Structure 1
């Protein structure tokens, strides 16, 4: 079975190292730097590099990218594992399961002024409420992307987070197997976002990690790995 790991905003591929080693299988962990253009164009570019019939394992922005790839290139995707997933990162008139628009805009403006400080704030939000807060913070800091070298790509990634809404005509077929993993204490993306997805995905499964924040695969690695292994074993 082939696995493709898609990391979140501001991170490097090494954030997946522990889970990748635990799960085994033939896998790839691409570097994700948002190119100029739409989320669709980015998804198309990543899809051209995928291993055949891969299971996409996406986290946060990587989960949005995985959803987009699966919607546009369903024949290339065998199943989805979505960690801290949401179809819309930002609250909207008919969507309450996200951050305030002003908050994400402040993040983007703050990144332009002081990229390093903004990344540190982002790390703090990801670890907030997690029972393993200090360990998660250390793990995230160790895999932070270079805010100077990749400033343009990171800035554009924030814009995509702010603008993207995958609820209408962007979600993949509900016949595609999907495991939704979410930390119950996630301060960035409420667990209700994954619950919303699960309610519209009859064949999906949900794994809620009660004492975890935005990065449950770091705070509860064994529980998350076991859940993914069970999900994958049922599809071999």
Structure 2
């Protein structure tokens, strides 16, 4: 499970006609690489709660390496419990936390049992990937949606991305955490629909 292998597998599933590609979190990194590698197949790109450089540095907001290591260790010890705890933290303190958590649990039950090898590979991709240069030169229309209360991908990443390219359409959803498509579904849909409509005009 390498970044390139997953990107090529997604590419093989894309329709012939250029698509609007949406990627969440690590999926945003995959989508961004796919758009760089196969630009003719991507009409526009939407990245949700995604960081082109996931690891925090002195000059870039992100997740502290030690926090990511603790998560990695917990994942190896108890995969399902760690994933559920991780998702629960994303809705903590929200007015509709209980209903959002029910949606998450239902979705997790409907999914295939997580593949620990794939999850660990995903974390390795997050640790090692730096896509800031892609953002700087990308010509494809791009919307990046951030969440004000995201503890994994800080909303401060938006301003850093603005410095990389003035062409990026940047939005921050107030009050949202890392899973805005569950907690702030309508706002996210509206942002995406407006972006796609404008770019298709």
Give the TM-score taking structure 2 as reference length. 0.88
Moved more, 111-120 or 39-48: 39-48
Among residues 50, 53, 56, which one is paired with 1:91 in the alignment?
Answer: 56
C-alpha distance 166-128 of structure 1, shift in aligned 2 (>3 A):
farther
Q: CA deviation at 1:94?
A: 3.6
Residue aligning to 2:35: 70
Q: CA deviation at 1:212?
A: 0.8
Find out whether 1:114 has 2:68 as its counterpart. no
Matches of 1:197 and 1:99, distance apart in 2: 16
Residue aligning to 1:228: 192
SS in 2 for 1:80: strand
Matches of 2:107 and 2:24, distance apart in 1: 14
CA displacement, residues 96-145 of structure 1 (integer Å, 9 cap, x when unaligned): x1111011111111111111221122112322454433333222222225
Q: CA deviation at 1:172?
A: 7.0
Q: CA deviation at 1:176?
A: 1.4
SS in 2 for 1:66: helix
Find out whether 1:104 has 2:104 as its counterpart. no
C-alpha distance 120-113 of structure 1, shift in aligned 2 (>3 A):
same
Residue aligning to 1:204: 168
Matches of 1:171 and 1:195, distance apart in 2: 13
Residue aligning to 1:160: 125
CA RMSD, Structure 1 to Structure 2 (Å):
2.0
Paired residues, number? 197
Among residues 18, 25, 29, which one is paired with 1:60 in the alignment?
Answer: 25
Matches of 1:163 and 1:109, distance apart in 2: 17
Matches of 1:42 and 1:131, distance apart in 2: 36
Contact 1:99 1:189 in 2 (8 A): yes
Residue aligning to 1:12: none
Matches of 1:195 and 1:130, distance apart in 2: 25
Matches of 1:79 and 1:189, distance apart in 2: 22
Extract unaligned runs of 5+ from structure 1: 1-34
Among residues 115, 122, 135, which one is paired with 1:150 in the alignment?
Answer: 115
Matches of 2:81 and 2:105, distance apart in 1: 12
Matches of 2:162 and 2:92, distance apart in 1: 24
SS in 2 for 1:126: helix
Matches of 1:128 and 1:60, distance apart in 2: 18
Give the TM-score taking structure 1 as reference length. 0.76
